A and B are shown apart, each in its own frame.
Chain A
């Protein structure tokens, strides 16, 4: 049993380490500029060199731009949007969930009705409609992705609050005259937060995929800024000639998403074990 857990922990750490190297360490190295074009060396395969003798570890794209540094920059953009979106959805979701669970009554009915309503519009479609209208900038994307993803946090936070609010420490605080805000901030929030971070680790991967899908459709990150989804879409036209253009960003996405899947899985497992013990 211990062995199994440490295997998936190891996989999670390994995958996320690759992402960290790509997104944090590669940009620190003296590599090619992700924007500079080299038309003497376009569509080079991984390990290829251009006519002027420059070596490209992962090859170049149609304009002769270095794939490695573009993948790294795109990863930074995605990670930034993902972190922003998870923060927005966590804050909104936890706030609404705690309010719904603590006050109950019509407030709860309204908030949970809002959650049901939001779930009844497929998330990709909602995002397409909203970005089409307000325009896709990096900040807009983070906010829209965040606002459309609060339901998971809200539901878990409400569920936990429903049982927590009946516990002795909350009751005693209330009989001593503690206000609702005090109770929510001092007693409920610290108890709910660890669980929320687990939800966040799962949602982060989902949000990255959503952002990549929007960018693939041309509705997410806009050029000249690169993103993995956009790189796949650009590569689709050269699938027969240079399949690595679409495959490399796909692999990067796979590693990141699988890493976070494993992370949230091990976190959930450990948490269950703690609860049992």
Chain B
């Protein structure tokens, strides 16, 4: 187990180093930071002095190592628009994004769980068909379109829920529904497949032979086993979810990291964009690592792979 954890840990560190490398190249593509930072009336001598201060007169490889070192401590330079370190601006927005991502995750898993069990227990074929078609149809609607349809129905027509901003629980409902249902079809398919696989096991036959009812066997015996793959894939899929927060936050004016990144693009505030992308990727890598290690604990077969 220790070997497995160390191997996955090293992999994750390598991945993060790769992300920082990508960030370095993106920063260089954005242009000379000294020109971007200085006011237009600055002289060439000013620019040279700033370059020397920022270490930009060093060879590229030295700059790269310096960048690596700074990035590892979360230092992506100052925001070009506000006199605040870029990473501080991003960190300020993290709770809002986490709130949205975690609630969406819960909505997705929760709905898949309830609908999956419903599909398993119902004796009517059409119920299964309707659920499958709704989930497939939802998948074909982009996040921003679905969000606007929800706003149209629940904010404009029915006036039940607020259409933008963050604060109360009511503010959270529409964004979480928008983002959480996007991957529902995938979750449902997985959950159904793993329930079907559990059905074939001997312990299910034994439970039935002991005289237990369908519902009892399903909930008490099959469910704990069938949930594991669902949670794993949902964890891995969190990257999709984190990417989806960018669009969702823009639709609902949700003050998270994604909205900050989009606003920074229109202000051409490159350090903030790169700090934001780096932080979300970091969160994603860490979550994947945790999911993998947890799974290794729960299912010994994984460690051998």
A interface residue numbers (CB < 8 A to B):
113, 116-117, 119-126, 128-130, 132-134, 205, 209, 212-213, 216-219, 229, 232-233, 235-236, 239-240, 243, 246-247, 250, 253-254, 257-258, 261
Contacts and interface: CB of A to CB of B under 8 A. Distances in A.
Contacts of B273: 128-129, 132
Contact of B277 (A126, A209, A247): A126
B19 A122 contact: no
B19 A117 contact: yes
A121 B276 CA distance: 11
A266 to B, nearest CB: 13
Given A125-B281, A128-B262, A261-B136, A239 B148 contact: yes
Interface of B: prevailing SS: helix
A209 B243 CA distance: 13
Contacts of B87: none
B270 A116 contact: no
A250 B145 contact: yes
Given A121-B277, A129-B277, 4 more contacts: A120-B288, A125-B243, A217-B250, A218-B262
Provide the main secondary structure of the chain A interface.
Answer: helix
A246 B251 CA distance: 12
Interface string B34-69: 000000000000000000000000000000000000
5 contacts: A120-B281, A121-B22, A126-B277, A134-B29, A253-B141
A132 B270 CA distance: 8
Contact of B152 (A121, A124, A216, A243): A243
A122 B236 CA distance: 11
B110 interface: no
Interface string B241-268: 0111011001100000000011011101
Given A213-B142, A250-B145, A261-B140, A130 B262 contact: no
B91 interface: no
A246 B148 contact: yes
Interface of B: 14-15, 18-19, 22, 26, 29-30, 136-137, 139-145, 148-149, 151-152, 156, 239-240, 242-244, 246-247, 250-251, 261-262, 264-266, 268, 270, 273-274, 276-277, 280-281, 284-285, 288
A250 B246 contact: no
Contacts of B137: 258
Contacts of A217: 246-247, 250, 262, 265
A261 B139 contact: yes
Contact of A125 (B29, B246, B285): B246
Nearest to B274: A129
A99 B185 CA distance: 34
A126 B284 CA distance: 13
Nearest to A130: B26
Contact of A124 (B26, B30, B243, B264): B243
Nearest to A123: B243
A128 B151 CA distance: 25
A125 B143 CA distance: 15
A122 B240 contact: yes
A122 B262 contact: no
A8 to B, nearest CB: 10
A232 B140 contact: no
Contact of A133 (B18, B26, B262, B266): B26
B280 to A, nearest CB: 6
When A and B form their complex, which 10 residue pairs have the shortest distance between CB atoms, in order from nearest?
A122-B243, A250-B145, A258-B140, A124-B243, A117-B18, A132-B265, A257-B140, A121-B281, A216-B144, A125-B277
A229 B250 CA distance: 13
A213 B239 contact: no
Contact of B281 (A122, A128, A134, A212): A122
Given A119-B239, A122-B281, A128-B246, A254 B30 contact: no
Contacts of A257: 140-142
Contacts of B262: 128, 217-219
A266 B265 CA distance: 40
Contacts of B285: 120
Contacts of A219: 262, 265
B136 A124 contact: no
B54 to A, nearest CB: 18
Contacts of B268: 132
Contacts of B242: 122, 125
Contact of A229 (B139, B144, B156): B144
Given A122-B280, A243-B152, A218 B266 contact: yes
Given A122-B280, A219-B265, A253 B142 contact: yes
B141 A236 contact: no
B270 A232 contact: no
B250 A216 contact: yes
Contacts of B151: 239
A137 B274 CA distance: 21
Contacts of B266: 218
A229 to B, nearest CB: 7
